Amino acid sequence: MKFQPPKGTRDFLPEETITRQKVIEVIKTVFENYGFQPLETPAIESWEVLSAKGAGGNEILKETYNFEDLGKRRIGLRYDLTVPLARVVASNPSLQLPFKRYQIEKVWRYGDVTKGRFREFLQADVDIIGSDGVVADAEIIACVISTFTSLGFEKFLVRINNRKILTALGKYAKISSKINAVFTAIDKLDKVGIKGVERELTELKLSKDSIKIILDFIQIQGEPLKTLNKAEKLIGNITEGKQGISELKELINYLEKMKVEPKFKVDFSLARGLDYYTGPIFEVLAEEGIGSIAGGGRYDKMIGLFSGKDIPATGISLGIERIIEVMKERKMIKQTKNKTKVFVAAVNDEVRDETLGLVQKLRQNGISADFDLKSRNLTRQLKYADSIGIPFVIIVGKNELNKNAVKVKDMIKSKESEVKLSNLINFLTES
């Protein structure tokens, strides 16, 4: 019988876990550099929180793992990190605003398992709570661009739109209903192409005039401000359109003042699937065929669902699994088998006690060290250290100890040196 983890979940052996930790550490460093503070929340939430109207929406709830606990309470695994954040803010009214938080934790959704898409996956979120100015949205985008640059990405693009512009487009195209279905259809432009979007809009039984207006509008492209000016001529007289275009112009102005790399474009086909967005929305693309690797936007109404008082909020979520997938395909990651720097090998049983003392001395000086737990001969110890990827082996022998020295073997360069015990820490620190 084969024992496998549930479909859509994975075990991560040391080599893969080390890679993930490296990526997470880079992301965490950038988040903290931008002034975001860490937050942790439970993996489970009450169903009342997860299913609150205006939170994730019905489509996500269909994919939510949920069950009744022994106290007859309905519980669900969190499907994102934004809804729990809204609950935290609502239940902690003494929080100083604006509250800038980051969170890097697992979430769960029962969806199709495809390339870069799993049912248990890691997200890295940054959010700003309590600022209704577009400068907060610019801060989020600046942070995410810095994050991908720090990870080593050269080719990536941040798509920007505004849900208010989409609302105005619906009015301009004279669509009084099915607006969310229209949003869903146009959001697939990158996947199905313009003909595919047209086909989906036709299936919604929209008029030919409405379909033409929508298709023409979402294909407006070019330099950000010129793109917005073209849109303004069409929907600028509609209140939501005027607001949305003004907000994006202000957003671009802030990004320029912050000297953010111009790795962004205005894209009117971007809709984002979640129901809770109220203003600017953004998505990061890096690789064809794998979808977005980050996405978010402004959600000014969600916290009010729990507190009874609306608090402005904006943020973005990075998909760690997809990011790592792209980094592997682009050969951006140098994988490491082991985080231990030194293996201390005893030539024979006569020096095993000295070996234990040396291992502890190395650890006390901040050098990760391991030793043989099976009383193997020297040859087998060396093979073992090499097989698990430890870069240095210290060979402890009686002859060397009589000279207050040990042999240090560089397993990568196949180079061996005799080093005085008094200089061992410095030698390994500099190596």
**pLDDT tens-digit series, residues 112-125:** 988 778 999 999 99
Closest Cα partner for 246 from 131, 133, 139?
133
- Is residue 98 in a domain? yes
- 79 and 204 belong to one structural domain: yes
- 320 and 372 belong to one structural domain: no
- 75 and 209 belong to one structural domain: yes
Termini Cα distance of the chain: 46
- What residues of the chain score a pLDDT lower than 70? 1, 273-275, 287-290
Edge-to-edge, what's the strand order for the sheet holding 292-298? 37-38, 99-108, 120-129, 313-319, 292-298, 280-285, 157-162, 264-266
- 101 and 55 belong to one structural domain: yes
- 324 and 346 belong to one structural domain: no
- Is residue 248 in a domain? yes
- 393 and 299 belong to one structural domain: no
- 314 and 353 belong to one structural domain: no
At residue 147, the pLDDT reads 97
Q: How many structural domains does the chain have?
A: 2
Cα dist. 337→14, 50, 243, 384 in Å?
A: 7, 39, 52, 13
Check: CB of residue 319 under 8 Å from CB of residue 294. Answer: yes
- 212 and 354 belong to one structural domain: no
**What are the b/e assignments for 323-345, b being 16+ CB within 10 Å?**
bbbbbeeeeebeeeebebbbbbb
Check: CB of residue 282 under 8 Å from CB of residue 297. Answer: yes
Which one of 329, 358, 377 terminates a domain? 329
- 163 and 19 belong to one structural domain: yes
- Is residue 380 in a domain? yes
- Is residue 336 in a domain? no
- 51 and 137 belong to one structural domain: yes
At residue 287, the pLDDT reads 65
Rounded Cα gap, residues 314 and 89, in angstroms: 13
At residue 57, the pLDDT reads 76
Q: pLDDT tens digits, residue range 321-340?
A: 999 999 998 999 988 899 99
- 353 and 278 belong to one structural domain: no
CATH number for 42: 3.30.930.10
Domain of residue 356: give its range.
Answer: 342-430
At residue 124, the pLDDT reads 98
- 388 and 308 belong to one structural domain: no
* DSSP assignment letter at 348: S
At residue 1, the pLDDT reads 58
At residue 288, the pLDDT reads 60
